C-alpha cells in the first residue's frame, strides 16, 4: 500500500490506520530513514479524513532497540530530507550541529507525534529501549504484551536521559529516577500499575486487542476526540511538562558535549562494552 522501506502502512479496519515498524532484523533500531518514514506515515494518517485512530505497532520479537547508533552519516541524511521543524544548521560543527539534528529528529518528532490531532495507540511487545520510549510515550494509549519491558539506559551512556524526557509524567518521579539511575528494565505489569500502560495482554492477543480498542475509539465523533486529547495534553503541559522537557534537553546536549570533549565521542565509550544493544543492533 505504500512505498515505505522501513515501515508498513496499513488500513486494518474502518477509520483505523496502522503503522508498523518493519526492521525486525535490526530490532527496529531507529535509522534516520525509519524516523522520516514514520513521520510521513503519521502525516498520511493525520491528513486522511477517513482515518480517526492510528495504531503504532512493530514486527519482530522486540518493539525497538532505540536509536540506530551505527548510522555514521546521520547529519547528512537529516540535512537532505524535508524539515518538520524550524531549526537550522544540521551540517554545523560541534554542539551546534548535534543539537540541531536531535532537536529536529528526536525531540522534535516525538513532540510532533504527541500532538497529532487524532488518538494514537501503541501496541508493544518485547524490549523497548531508550529511543524506543520516544515512539511509545508520544502515543495516547499503550497496550503491551505480557513480555514487554521498558528501559532508558542513557545514563549508562554518560547522558542524562532520552531526548524526549517524559519520564516523570509517565511513571512518576520515584520510578523515573530509578529507571534513569539503574538502566533496568521495567515490566509491562509494573508500568501498568504505575499508569504508564493501559492494558497488558497475552502476546498472541496484542494485535486484536489494539485493533478492537482502536475501532471502539474510532466510532466516536472525531472532533470530540481531538479536543479531548488536546484538553488532557493541556492539563499535562500546565503541570510544567514543556519547561521540564526543554531543561532536560539542554542537559542532554551538555552531556553529549562533555563526552565529546573528554572521550572524543558523543557517549561514554564504556557503554559499548556494557550495552544490552550490541554494535550490530542485536539485543543480547
Residues that bind Zn ion (CB under 5 A): 102
Q: CA angle at residue 121 from 232 to 135, to 5 degrees?
A: 90
Q: Shortest gap between Cβ of 254 and Zn ion (angstroms)? A: 11
- Please give the Cα distance from 101 to 259 (Å, whole number): 17
Instruction: Name the closest residue to Zn ion (Cβ).
Output: 102
Q: Shortest gap between Cβ of 157 and Zn ion (angstroms)? A: 9
Q: Shortest gap between Cβ of 99 and Zn ion (angstroms)? A: 9
> Of the two residues 102 and 207, which places its CB atom closer to Zn ion in the complex?
102
> Of the two residues 102 and 140, which places its CB atom closer to Zn ion in the complex?
102
> Of the two residues 42 and 106, which places its CB atom closer to Zn ion in the complex?
106
16 close to 52: Cβ distance less than 8 angstroms: yes
> Of the two residues 101 and 148, which places its CB atom closer to Zn ion in the complex?
101
136 close to 126: Cβ distance less than 8 angstroms: no
How many CA atoms does the CB half-sphere of 249 hold within 13 Å? 22
> Of the two residues 152 and 207, which places its CB atom closer to Zn ion in the complex?
152
Provide the grid cell at 187: 515490566
Residue position matching grid coordinates 550490530: 280
Q: CA angle at residue 132 from 148 to 147, to 5 degrees?
A: 5
Amino acid at each position: 500500500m505504500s512505498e515505505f522501506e522501513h515501515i508498513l502502512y496499513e488500513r486494518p479496519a474502518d477509520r483505523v490506520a496502522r503503522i508498523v515498524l518493519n526492521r525486525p532484523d535490526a530490532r527496529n533500531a531507529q535509522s534516520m530513514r525509519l524516523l522520516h518514514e514514520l513521520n510521513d506515515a503519521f502525516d498520511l494518517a493525520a491528513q486522511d479524513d477517513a482515518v480517526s485512530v492510528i495504531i503504532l505497532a512493530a514486527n519482530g520479537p522486540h518493539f525497538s532497540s532505540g536509536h540506530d547508533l551505527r548510522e555514521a552519516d546521520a547529519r547528512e541524511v537529516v540535512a537532505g530530507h524535508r524539515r518538520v521543524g524550524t531549526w537550522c544548521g544540521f551540517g554545523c560543527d560541534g554542539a551546534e550541529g548535534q543539537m540541531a539534528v536531535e532537536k529536529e529528529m528526536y525531540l522534535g518528532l516525538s513532540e510532533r507525534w504527541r500532538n497529532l490531532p487524532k488518538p494514537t495507540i501503541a501496541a508493544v511487545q518485547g524490549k523497548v529501549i531508550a529511543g524506543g520510549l520516544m515512539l511509545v510515550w508520544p502515543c495516547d494509549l499503550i497496550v503491551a504484551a505480557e513480555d514487554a519491558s521498558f528501559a532508558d539506559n542513557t545514563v549508562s551512556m554518560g547522558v542524562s536521559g532520552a531526548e524526549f524526557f517524559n519520564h516523570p509524567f509517565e511513571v512518576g518521579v520515584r520510578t523515573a529516577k530509578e529507571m534513569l539511575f539503574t538502566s533496568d528494565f521495567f515490566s509491562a505489569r509494573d508500568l501498568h500499575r504505575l499508569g504508564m500502560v493501559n492494558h497488558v495482554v497475552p502476546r498472541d492477543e496484542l494485535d486484536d486487542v489494539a485493533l478492537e480498542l482502536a475501532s471502539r475509539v474510532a466510532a466516536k465523533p472525531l472532533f470530540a476526540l481531538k479536543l479531548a486529547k488536546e484538553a488532557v495534553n493541556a492539563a499535562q503541559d500546565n503541570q510544567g511538562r514543556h519547561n521540564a522537557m526543554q531543561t532536560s534537553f539542554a542537559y542532554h546536549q551538555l552531556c553529549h558535549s562533555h563526552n565529546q570533549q573528554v572521550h572524543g565521542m558523543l557517549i561514554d565509550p564504556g557503554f559499548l562494552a556494557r550495552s544490552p544493544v550490541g554494535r550490530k543492533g542485536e539485543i543480547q
